[in-house]
Amino acid sequence: MKRLLFILMSVALIACQSKEESPLVKEALAVQDSARALHRQMSDEVLAMQQSLNDTMLLVRKLNDAEEMRSLKAQYADLESLNRKLKEWRENLIEIPGHCLHEDGEHHHHGNEHTDLTDQDILDVQNELFRQLQGLEKQFNTTKGN
């Protein structure tokens, strides 16, 4: 059993190791890394804000302040919508051939890998995904400001 596990882990590590890459793929990886870091930060902040709003809503409910409760529910709905969009963004990430998308502790899989893309296509896709995430960041900053 240990030997089988060792073999499976070795295959997974080999599959995730990169070969010599073009400057375009290296740039695409840098863009993807930046986007994934921003995504993690935003996801963590949205979760923290939702938890804080839940606590506040419990207090407001006890005070029976209907107007404040409506405002808090609207803010929570905005955060919930943003959270769904962040999850959709994460699900739509394109794996750069030869590189894994999984985080430490995540299940290992190779999804959304497009080996038929040119290096320029890979960079273009990563730039577009990052641009989409920056749009979500603007929405998030607007939500935080309210």
79-94 per-position pLDDT tens digit: 999 999 999 999 999 8
In this predicted structure, what is the pLDDT of residue 98? 82
Range(s) of the domain holding residue 75: 27-92+117-146
Instruction: Write b or e for each residue in 112-130: b if 16 or more Cβ atoms lie within 10 A of its Cβ, otherwise e.
Output: ebeeebebeebbebbeebb
Judge whether 134 lies within some domain.
Answer: yes
3-state class of 115 per DSSP?
coil
Residue 41 counted as domain residue: yes
pLDDT in the model for residue 99: 84
Classify residue 10: in a domain, yes or no: no
Number of domains in the chain: 1
pTM here is 0.77
Q: How far is CA 36 from CA 4, 46, 88, in A?
A: 32, 15, 13
- In whole angstroms, give the CA distance from residue 143 to residue 39: 16
| Residue 50 pLDDT exceeds 50 | yes
Structure tokens at 132: 């989409």
What's the confidence (pLDDT) of residue 113? 58
Q: How many CB atoms lie within 10 A of CB 49?
A: 19
**Do the domain assignments include residue 100?**
no
- Is residue 21 situated within a structural domain? no
Please check whether residue 18 lies inside any domain of the structure: no
Measure the N-to-C terminal CA separation of the chain; round to a whole number of Å: 55
* 8 inside domain: no
Q: Is residue 2 a part of any domain in this protein?
A: no
